[in-house]
Amino acid sequence: MNLGYLITYIEVIKRGSFSEVAAKLSISQPAVSLQIQKLERDLGVRLIDRSQKVMTMTEAGKRLLIFARSIEKEWGRLQLDLDRLREEVTGELIIAASSIPGNFLLPSLLAEFRSLHPTVRARALISDSVNVVAEVREGIYDVGFCGFLPEGQELESLKIGQDEIVLIVFPEHPFARRKVISLNDLEGEPLIFREETSGTQRTLEALLSQAGFHIKTQSPSLVLSTTQAIVSAVELQAGIAFVSDLAIKKSLALGLVKQVPVKGLKLSRNFYCIYRRERIVSRLLEEFIAFVRAKGKGVKS
């Protein structure tokens, strides 16, 4: 059933004149008549008694008028609701994030964004950087947070934070008593690695390689899937590891691990928010990307 025809029918009954309705709706009088005829044909009943000089409704016409007025009211409410939604930022954010930004940067970002837009709901799924990039590239998620800059032109990226990858050991390890070590001192040490799809591991390998230390030549004592697992393993004296400084604050404060400087080595990296521009189509996503962009402007280069 055509909504426009129902509105025309309401006007016809209200004004009692096809010509007046035609003038109000800016259509021709035959067009008004045709719309009423189409309504009657669609419903299979006569709505208006045309045998009388004064326009009168049939019983079916009276019932349709009640229905048409209720639809008109609902249409008005719908328009108000849609106008409100255009102004309000609401809905659910579903985000893919790698472990470090997902655990240590994203919670505060989402908390601040929700303080600005309290009706927004958010859900973050933690994965590794390679999967995050792939899932955003394939359109599975609209927004992702990861630890390296994706290759190619199809993804937009915003820098949203930084960390430093540092060496940690357990307090009883010989390195814990030294003020600084060299890269050569790492030879033969039981190093604990992240999996190869980890942004931390990729960055670590690249930065150490630039410094002349090829970590892939080392046999890892353990390969674990999360930074938290690696920190726990170091606490339990299972080995030593390079991890994000964002992930060790509590363990350092409790004396469970010791950070050891490596001479001439500074392993800094950036974190990025990534998205496909053509998928940012809702008001919520537009506002969230604008919010992330503004927050990223305060990050040091």
Question: For residue range 15-32, what is the model confidence (pLDDT) as tens digits?
Answer: 888 888 888 888 898 998
Q: What is the pLDDT of residue 87?
A: 64
Residue with tokens 């639809």: 71
Tell me how far apart the alpha carbons of residues 91 and 192 are, in angstroms, rounded to a whole number.
41
Structure confidence by residue, pLDDT tens digits, 121-159: 999 999 888 999 999 999 999 999 998 888 888 899 999
Residue 269: left (phi > 0), alpha (psi -120 to 50), or beta? beta
Q: What is the pLDDT of residue 301?
A: 57
Strand partners, 275: 143, 156
Q: Which long-range CB contacts under 8 A does 284-293 form with residues at least 24 apart?
A: 284/89, 284/90, 284/91, 284/93, 284/117, 284/120, 285/93, 285/142, 285/143, 287/89, 287/117, 288/93, 288/113, 288/143, 289/143, 289/158, 291/109, 291/112, 291/113, 291/116, 292/109, 292/158, 292/160, 293/158
Give percent above pLDDT 90 in the chain.
Answer: 51
List the chain residues with pLDDT less than 50. Answer: none
How far, CA to CA in Å, does 153 sit from each of 35, 165, 288? 52, 28, 21
DSSP H or E run through 9: helix 3-15
Handedness of CA 141, 144, 148, 153 (dihedral sign): positive
Q: What is the pLDDT of residue 217?
A: 79
Handedness of CA 67, 71, 74, 76 (dihedral sign): negative
Q: What is the pLDDT of residue 279?
A: 87
Tell me how far apart the alpha carbons of residues 271 and 245 are, in angstroms, rounded to a whole number.
13
Strand segments, DSSP code E, in 15-119 are 48-49, 56-57, 91-98
Closest CA to 217 of 174, 183, 251, 172: 183
**Residue 244 neighbours by CB distance under 10 Å:** 26
Q: What is the pLDDT of residue 151?
A: 85
Q: What Rg, from alpha-carbon coordinates, does the chain have?
A: 33
Length of the chain (residues): 301
Find out whether 146 and 101 touch, Cβ atoms under 8 Å: yes
Find out whether 30 and 36 touch, Cβ atoms under 8 Å: no
- Token readout for 180 is 């600084």
Q: What is the pLDDT of residue 52?
A: 72
Strand partners, 274: 144, 157
